[in-house]
Structure 1
């Protein structure tokens, strides 16, 4: 059982990170490449495939990657898509799983990036053993992963906890989503 590795994929508005993780949650190897520079989804997929191949060369002898998990902004795990990802120019519904699964060649699971962070904290971090907690993620955008009564709260489209586009000032700063006064324009790396 100690020969099992998982592939973690974090698609961020600025960078995408791909890592090999063992059962104890230890990061063994990783690759990073710019997401924001990929205006076309096909270009992103090529960069992903190149980095994935390089990372697979780092798999230690006798170990195997059995599955992958993706955390992505506005990810809808039920459709396998990124829904209206405002920090990307890839379209309204990006069919992420449809294109990533053939590259990875293993089972691939998708969740919202903040939910992925909450799951990591729940399994390996400061929230281990807790029944109720919230993880707030701050990066290019702003989000949260919520666990209540020992269950991850995803909502009907997997987007519960998406708080970056909550309006906090009606005549506030212009947001990339087209609205004004979104929390993300005040409390994120892009704000």
Structure 2
């Protein structure tokens, strides 16, 4: 059996695991990410990868990291949350472990995990949307991961969907993630509860009476309990997701869309309005099958599993 080690490097935690050819995680180790210390972070990755390799054996290592990765999948060019600039992470971990190592953008790794072993398994082409603080994701076309010239394919949160709309942190106005992300969901719910406390009473109650404390967890819980305002907020988010997805369908023509990330935990309360909005705007509907919108299945293992699988091609 061919085993690979997958590592998912986030701003607060590092998760590593031994993964078999079927995408099954056989063992895991988790560590806190050293706070903005590039060398200690790399040393921690090497330590846990070496420990797993020594105990279980492995043929390769794949690392998913938030940031810009070079075209050779070896160097992290820029990862602000991890304090990495031009970090030769692949070479560094490879030397420490004696195993061939590749580095992949974390959204690409997670998307590949869903495509190979999760909600998009069996689909020839898929778009995976990671809906969290912002919107990112991955593109799989004809079974291949699309990275783009600079490794930035899938950064569609900054597509402008509403010219002269809300100001985005990137400097533009009307970016998709200002209307269809977890941040947008929370901002809209807080605004609703502030401007109309009677209508937002359920949301306010869940947050201890303070609109500025309303979170995505509060919104989802209230919606599941049938709160009209919370349901409206999720429905509006789904509508905006669907609008952007229709544009992506015109560009990539996927078999399936997968909703991943923290916001997708709202389940069908988000998926259904997203599917309806997307379908209503889908071009050439009379001449094509309609891509299905599915919920991610891999959860927080997607990045680890995807990184491990991508390393097998080394």
Bucket of the pairwise TM-score, normalised by the shorter protein: 0.7 to 0.9
Instruction: Give the distance between the partners of 2:165 and 2:80, measured in 1 at CA.
Output: 19
For the 8 Å contact 2:91–2:101, the answer to whether it is kept is: no
What RMSD, in angstroms, separates the aligned Cα atoms of the two structures?
2.9
Residues 92-131 of structure 1 mapped to structure 2, 5 A cutoff? 93-131=86-124
Residues 1-191 of structure 1 mapped to structure 2, 5 A cutoff? 2=1, 4-35=2-33, 37-59=34-56, 64-73=57-66, 74-78=68-72, 80-91=74-85, 93-138=86-131, 142-164=135-157, 172=167, 175=169, 179=171, 183=177, 187=181
- What SS is found at the alignment partner of 1:69? strand
- Larger Rg, first or second structure (1 or 2): 2
Q: 1:90 to 1:150 in 2, by over 3 A?
A: closer
Instruction: Give the distance between the partners of 2:15 and 2:32, measured in 1 at CA.
Output: 9
- What SS is found at the alignment partner of 1:103? helix
Structure scoring higher RCO (CA < 8 A, sep ≥ 6) equals 2
For the 8 Å contact 2:139–2:146, the answer to whether it is kept is: yes
Q: 1:19 to 1:41 in 2, by over 3 A?
A: same
Instruction: Give the distance between the partners of 1:185 and 1:80, measured in 2 at CA.
Output: 34
TM-score (norm 1): 0.76
Instruction: Give the distance between the partners of 1:184 and 1:87, measured in 2 at CA.
Output: 21
By how many angstroms is 1:142 displaced?
Answer: 4.0
Encode CA deviations 1:157-185: one digit per residue, 9 max, x unaligned. Answer: 22211235557777636x4xx74777389
For the 8 Å contact 1:111–1:158, the answer to whether it is kept is: no
